[in-house]
Structure 1
Amino acid sequence: MDYNSSDTVPGPRAEDHLPHTAQAAAKIVIVGGFGVGKTTMVGSVSEIRPLTTEETMTQAGIGVDDDYGSDSKTATTVAMDFGRISVTEQLVLYLFGTPGQERFWFLWNGLFEGALGAVVLLDTRRLEVSFDVIGRLEERGVPFVVAVNSFPDAPRHPVEELRAALDLSPEIPIVECDARRRASSRDVLMTLMRFLYALTVRGATV
């Protein structure tokens, strides 16, 4: 993401230790195309120092990788990002950010294993890169919500226009966010948890 800073707090912290009150944990994946802000989101919301696998972009990727924003983006995730957040005293979410470059998508299958749900991070300047992302989640049956990352120069569209463009069912939440901000990213995760809860309740009553 083409932002220079986030709310990430560097260095070791007491919060790096799993809270003693934690009773349950869930795996959540953050997916999206190249440069949509996945690393930024994991870093901004994680209560521990996030693990990243960013490598410097080189000329070897020219003609192979998505080069959108390459004039300001100098590194890209090649394996995954990892973070953790406690949404309640009892429930902990483990966050896995996927690589955006298509040549690394073979890693997605492993990251999807055991995932309770997903956040599809969206850049409205490049809606087309989300089609395959959403298709892969649907194929694997992973529930997801869509978060529209608020880039300063990105066009804004009504939610229903986005829903139609992405061919999403009415039940799938679409929310706006600023991936740099801890509170905004946490709100996205809470939207996902409420959606997953609703699916569980609906399944239990069918």
Structure 2
Amino acid sequence: MDYADSDALMAGPRDTDVLLAHGARGVKVVVVGGFGVGKTTMVGAVSEIPPLTTEETMTQAGVGIDHNPGTASKNTTTVAMDFGRISISQELVLYLFGTPGQERFWFLWNGIFEGALGAVVLVDTRRVEVCFEVVTRLEDRRVPFIVAVNTFPDAPEYPEEELRTALALSESVPLVTCDARDRASCRDTLLTLMVYLCTLAAQETA
């Protein structure tokens, strides 16, 4: 699944300067999920700077190790992380870190999660089970998260309650749909996460 070129979707110029504007606050957000759910695509589609990716070509060495039904056309994979940036406002900039999906690279997650304010869990409804461990790890580390269902063209659609039950999600955790190829859709997903984090912060201070 290739990410769309977001140059044409930007309202203003696309800066390559990674420094924050004076007075702006940088926030770390992690994009997580199983193999092939669209994490690299999402970071690339929404980033206002050329995204940093660590994709490598998949080889026969992964056969029998990376079992990935539903992703037969995928020929590259993230082996460390993806990185991008999006300015929500003049005061708030999100630094996006995409994690590798295969279990054999999960040892990298601890470092990527460090300092994260929140996370987006991408879900492919053809392979919901690959997200169980992702959700568990976020809960264990007490990283707030929302769940975004990536709308693959051939993926089955399920009622929200069925998905919540399958993922053991509480009613308070936002569950949205997202097209990881579309910048506006990815931006709206990140805004949902920011609103959710603000709600949690308000509850803690109430």
TM-score, normalization: structure 1?
0.93
| SS of residue in 1 equivalent to 2:156 | coil
Distance 1:155 1:59 in 2: 29
Distance 2:67 2:136 in 1: 19
Give the ranges of 4+ consecutive aligned residues of structure 1 lying more than 3 Å apart after TM superposition. 7-10
The number of residue pairs the alignment matches comes to 201
1:92-140 alpha-carbon deviations (Å, 9 max, x no partner): 0000000001100000000000000000000000010010000000000
1:20 aligns with 2:21: yes
Distance 2:155 2:182 in 1: 17
Deviation (angstroms), 1:6: 1.1
| SS of residue in 2 equivalent to 1:155 | coil
Q: Could you say if the C-alpha distance between residues 91 and 34 of structure 1 is closer, same or farther in structure 2, counting changes exceeding 3 Å?
A: same
Distance 2:89 2:22 in 1: 9
1:9/1:49 contact within 8 Å kept:
no
1:34/1:66 contact within 8 Å kept:
no
1:1-206 equivalent positions in 2, closer than 5 A: 2=1, 4-9=2-7, 15-17=15-17, 18=19, 20-205=21-206
Deviation (angstroms), 1:15: 1.2
- CA RMSD, aligned part only? 1.5
| SS of residue in 2 equivalent to 1:198 | helix
1:85/1:92 contact within 8 Å kept:
yes
| SS of residue in 2 equivalent to 1:183 | helix
Distance 1:21 1:66 in 2: 46
Q: Could you say if the C-alpha distance between residues 5 and 45 of structure 1 is closer, same or farther in structure 2, counting changes exceeding 3 Å?
A: closer
Q: Could you say if the C-alpha distance between residues 69 and 124 of structure 1 is closer, same or farther in structure 2, counting changes exceeding 3 Å?
A: closer
1:6/1:40 contact within 8 Å kept:
yes
Distance 1:154 1:90 in 2: 37
| SS of residue in 2 equivalent to 1:76 | strand
Which amino acid is 1:59 matched to?
A: Q
Identity %: 64
Q: Give 5+ residue unaligned stretches, structure 1.
A: none
